[in-house]
Chains A and B, each alone.
Chain A
Amino acid sequence: MNALSTLPNLTDTQIIEAAQRRGEPGWLVLRREAAWKAFVEAVPPIWRRTDLSKFQPDRIIAPEAPSATRLTWDESLAAQGVIFMPLVEAAKSDDPIVRDRFGTAIDAHSHKFNALHAALWQDGAFLYVPKHVAAEAPFVASFGLNADGVSFAHNLVVLEEGSSASFVEEYSSADVNGQAFSNPATELFVGAGALLRYVVVQSWGAGVYHIGAQRVIAGRDATVEWVSANLGGKLQHVEAEIALTESGSRVEWQGVTFATNKQSLLTAPVLRHVGTNTESHLEFKTVVADDGYSSFDGLIKIEKDSKGTATRLEEHALHLGGKGRTDSIPGLKIDTNDVARAGHASTSGEIDEEQLFYMRARGISRAEAIHMIVMGFFDPVLERIPSEDVRGRVTAAIEAKL
């Protein structure tokens, strides 16, 4: 049996029994049960910039077991104590790290979709990097859709003090006739002085609703380099957050979004400066064409006890004609008097005719010139992807849309 039932027919008993059959520890079974209760009781969220009017939650079929997690890594690192395995397996072995961290970064009860995720997740990876271990090769977790067109992936990443690693999360599929649903969550803990490179690539096929959450907790003097590529699916609603909780932590956070063909792709980054002398730089680049819609609903919070914060937010949008739209709602909330720097820059425009003419005067066709300008627009972000393979796949996914 691979599926439980559709959401309207699903019961807490089914969820509990399935978890027990899989051999999950008691604490996890209880979490699922509580999350399901929260899901049933919660009213659907009303999101201003995510239109769920055509979304049919009743057609979602709850999975019974993991099906589509593919993990790629340098297995020789296991000798240094590095763990990279399906999260459900790690949970079954009752690893205390999993038990202590799971569900602590993302609140399962914050809204209906997070609750649904916490009740039903099956796929996903657990990455653990011990103190002072530097992992060179990236850890790649790739996700697809199961036979019922759903994916519930939960990733848990723990980097201990002084370690470094690259974690790559990729979602991809063929185009889907009708509706498919992806509901992931990723929790990442970056220890003191550790370096995390985090890459998320969303390149689902047409028809997929991708509604999920990502949250990074950065410790003292930790560095996070985060790249998001939002390319596929019918609709994306991702709530991404990083909390710079301890002094000296910093994040370099970049994103590319390319919305075409009636896609609606929302990124809602939240950056919380909590510790002292924390630094952030956000750079998001968006291209829209046809009837594509992209929104950037960002918030930078500089909290009361945060001193000496430096932050800079850059957003740039390029319109390739048609009826494509972008919304940008950057917010800055400062609750302290001691801010080192806070800057914001934003541009939005169409392809520059002077650039096009210059390129065409060299023999390059209009179509190829546009192609090159778009790839060039994304290039400063793409070149930060730490794996050449992944960069190649992202580039190909963008080129396929041009």
Chain B
Amino acid sequence: MNTELVITDLHANVADKEILKGVNLTVKPGTVHAIMGPNGSGKSTLAYTLAGHPGYQVTGGEAWYQGQNILELAPDERAKLGLFLAFQYPVAIPGVTVANFLRAAVNAQRAEEGKDPKQTAMPMAQFRKELREKLTELEVDESFVRRYLNDGFSGGEKKRIEILQMSMLKPSMAILDETDSGLDIDALRIVSQGVNRLAEQNGEMGALVITHYQRLLNYIKPHFVSVMMDGRIVREGGAELALELEEKGYDWIREEVAAR
């Protein structure tokens, strides 16, 4: 089974406007792959398209993961393959507590066809124990789990709860969409530590880290950096590329692309 995420010539529209114009990208297991780029370059569209948002129409290309073209799967089937999207704007679900939501998600991913969900469900005691551990690691107060998911949460709280979900679900391929936006420096540190801890625990986890700023990459060290512009990957490099972008901005790449 191929645990690389291999994206080939991916085209996608939002409201009939082409945003992704042929993305080629491979995310290897056990690596952190950063996608950087100016606003409006299509970074978040790539994240949503990979996760299967119904508002994003794939018009061409493929994205293979675990032996399947995930673009043909429903969003929940992609999640069950181990794909996780940490949302830039997490959605509130009033009436559903953080704890109940997490339990439903964990058990949905453990469910197996033809088996009683009660059999495959994580035992309650184990769930509580794991949840308590993750809450401590992410410095989230226990009272949070009884609150309705993301309902009235601050920006920073929402991002922590995203990483909490990720820690509980233990994905094999994590996509982090602008997880640093709206975070103060303390929250950024805690969230980044959460991601790094998960990567350490699962040496095979791949991570696609989408960010506008280099700041996050001080905390989550990328193995590869790809630059996205106008719906395509236009340049690839190592961690040093992020620093170069921080220093020089995006204009020099734009000029380079224009000159091609």
Contacts and interface: CB of A to CB of B under 8 A. Distances in A.
Interface of A: 352-355, 357-366, 368, 372-373, 375-380
Contacts of B94: 376-377, 380
Interface size class of B (residues with CB under 8 A): 20 to 34
B95 interface: yes
A373 B76 contact: no
Interface stretch (B64-72, B85-93, B121-129, B181-189): B85-93
B177 to A, nearest CB: 11
B96 interface: yes
B79 A361 contact: yes
Contact of A360 (B75, B100, B165): B75
A12 B74 CA distance: 66
Contacts of B87: 358, 361
Contacts of A359: 93, 101, 105
22 contacts: A353-B55, A355-B91, A358-B87, A358-B91, A358-B93, A360-B52, A360-B75, A361-B75, A361-B79, A361-B85, A361-B87, A362-B109, A363-B80, A363-B105, A364-B76, A364-B108, A368-B108, A372-B101, A373-B93, A376-B95, A379-B95, A380-B94
Interface in B143-201: 148, 165, 169
Given A355-B93, A361-B85, A362-B165, A372 B79 contact: no
A358 B95 contact: no
A184 to B, nearest CB: 30
A362 B93 contact: no
Given A361-B84, A372-B100, 11 more contacts: A353-B54, A355-B91, A359-B93, A359-B105, A362-B109, A362-B165, A365-B76, A372-B96, A372-B101, A375-B95, A380-B95
B132 interface: no
Interface string B4-29: 00000000000000000000000000
Contacts of A366: 74, 76
Contacts, number: 82
B104 A364 contact: yes
A365 B73 CA distance: 12
Contacts of B92: 355
A166 B54 CA distance: 47
B54 A376 contact: no
A363 B93 contact: no
A361 B93 contact: no
B209 interface: no
B254 interface: no
A137 B53 CA distance: 49
A358 B158 CA distance: 13
Chain A interface, >50% SS class = helix
Given A361-B51, A362-B79, A365-B108, A372 B93 contact: yes
B148 A358 contact: no
Nearest to A369: B76
A48 B75 CA distance: 45
Given A360-B74, A366-B74, A376 B148 contact: yes
A376 B85 contact: no
Nearest to A377: B95
B75 A372 contact: no
Given A363-B169, A376-B148, A357 B95 contact: no
Contacts of B53: 357
A377 B94 CA distance: 7
Given A372-B96, A376-B93, A377-B95, A361 B52 contact: yes
Given A376-B148, A377-B95, A358 B90 contact: yes
A64 B94 CA distance: 49
A343 to B, nearest CB: 19
A357 B93 contact: no
A372 B52 CA distance: 20
B240 to A, nearest CB: 33
A362 B84 CA distance: 7
Contacts of A357: 51-54, 75, 91
Nearest to A382: B95
A315 to B, nearest CB: 16
A382 B200 CA distance: 43
Contacts of B85: 361
B63 to A, nearest CB: 15
B96 A373 contact: yes
